[in-house]
Chain A
């Protein structure tokens, strides 16, 4: 449900005139809620930025998400993180 809540909050904040980007753990939910920009990551609940005490990984995920803010592809943007490939 968290992923739906994030999408709903994100929609409202973007509608207030702020550019937004989010992390999602569940693409199926994000496809329905259609927040403006989301990065899909391959982790379980409780781990949206991968691993605790792993600043390098957390920065890599944040950087991938922030890039979406300047992406001029029509919204909504739902991008799969490159961490999906690195995990398999």
Chain B
């Protein structure tokens, strides 16, 4: 079991130097309903995929659809990286894709419902142009068409 640990010094240093995307304004969709009436979808960049779906490749901006009905054990970790210890994720995918936790919130009535599908992306994308212009807006449109009110996103 991987212990809690803060980000190591090398990763912090690298992230400080990394010249990523920089924005000035933030999009805003106010919450229209109380959470206990909202339909919720999950999005992860842990690179999880399912048997029968194509695995992710390095720098891949595409996404995989994860049906709400899956068992967490069915999720395959496609995001092998030297940057972190993935044993925790493989033991418990909820660590970066908390589908069991949200099913519990649904049962407790704390959220309205879970959408019938969720989405998984790769995380290590150093050239995110296709993500910004194509795949991320596409997922936004799909979720909007599904009637989703809230998306909960987790990195890895």
Contact = CB atoms under 8 A, between A and B. Distances in A.
B143 interface: yes
A59 B104 contact: yes
Given A46-B89, A62-B105, A10 B151 contact: yes
A38 to B, nearest CB: 9
A17 B144 contact: yes
Tell me whether chain B's interface is mostly helix, strand or loop, or mixed: loop
Contact of A13 (B2, B11, B124, B151): B151
Contacts, number: 238
Contact of B29 (A8, A19, A35): A19
Contacts of B151: 10, 13, 18-21
Given A1-B125, A13-B139, A15-B137, A33 B154 contact: no
Interface string B1-37: 1111111100110011010111111111111100100
Interface of A: 1-26, 28-29, 32-36, 42-53, 55, 58-59, 62, 65-66, 69-70, 75-76, 87
